Amino acid sequence: MSGEVVERSRAGGGGTDRRGPRGRAPERGRDKLAQALLAGALGVFIAAGISACNTNPHAADVPPPSTAEQPAGNGGSPSPDDTSATGQHHTGKKSGIQLPNTIQVLYSTTPAFQDLTHHVVLWNASQAYKAQYAAAYQPASAATADLKRYWSGDGYTQAHAWAQLWIDTKKQPVGQAVLSSVSVESLTPEHATVGFCEDLAGVVRGDVATHTPGKPLQEHGTLGNRIEYSMVPTGSKGQWQVNSETTTKASPLCPAPTEKKRKR
């Protein structure tokens, strides 16, 4: 069985084949959303003060390389387009983009890197992926500073459209996206390709108005998507951008987590 190759067409908030969108919600509403969706649907009790980042059963995130610029807080200095999403928790300053408690990007195993250049590329790929979710949590516009920082060209158009769809349809991606088989597939001074598997069975479409969970973006036990980032350096030290993304839906390279465990 071969996967269907598409450009930027993962299941999304509006039930379409694009990654769904997210809408405006006041701070109190977002707190309720975190409680109702994560406590009720996913079993994570944020309202009780148990932070989702303290109950992570998966591997550690990609650590920041020493040469990468490391914006703190929500991933960079605020801009007119880049308002902070509510529901975030902080334990002092952290490197990279910090997502709201209602959505997590986790790894089945911490991605390995061969050298500093590989590390830099993987770090930027990780931040680019998170930037989309952070953008989807904005009140009106997905054109955040971080999205512009980590995406360019056709890639930016794809990522912005995905995040804006969540906003326009007043949905939120809620839960845990789990990435695996992360690798730098090719690397030259002018271009890099990063591939990884994406399991979205733990992510549901949260309704901003009713604070109730919708359908998951992927059925449990099914093949995940294989994502491929085309990346180029910006000219700034330690900074790469995704200029194109290709998705192979239901890829045989991305078996469900339970199937992976049986094969070990």
* Residue boundaries of the structural domains of the chain: 4-59+95-263
pTM reported for the whole predicted model: 0.73
Please report the pLDDT score of residue 10 as a whole number. 57
Domain 4-59+95-263 CATH class label: alpha beta
Written as tens digits, the pLDDT of the chain (264 aa) is: 445 444 554 545 443 344 444 444 444 555 555 445 544 444 332 332 223 333 345 787 888 998 655 443 343 333 333 333 333 333 334 579 999 999 999 999 988 888 999 999 999 999 999 999 999 999 999 999 999 999 999 999 999 999 999 999 999 999 999 999 999 999 999 999 999 999 999 999 999 999 899 999 999 999 999 999 999 999 999 999 999 999 999 999 999 875 544 444
- Three-state secondary-structure class, residue 195: strand
Please report the pLDDT score of residue 34 as a whole number. 47
Please report the pLDDT score of residue 110 as a whole number. 87
In the chain, the N- to C-terminal Cα span, in Å, equals: 22
181 Cβ neighbours under 8 A, 6+ residues apart: 108, 195, 196, 197, 253, 254
Round to whole Å and give the CA distance between 20 and 170: 9
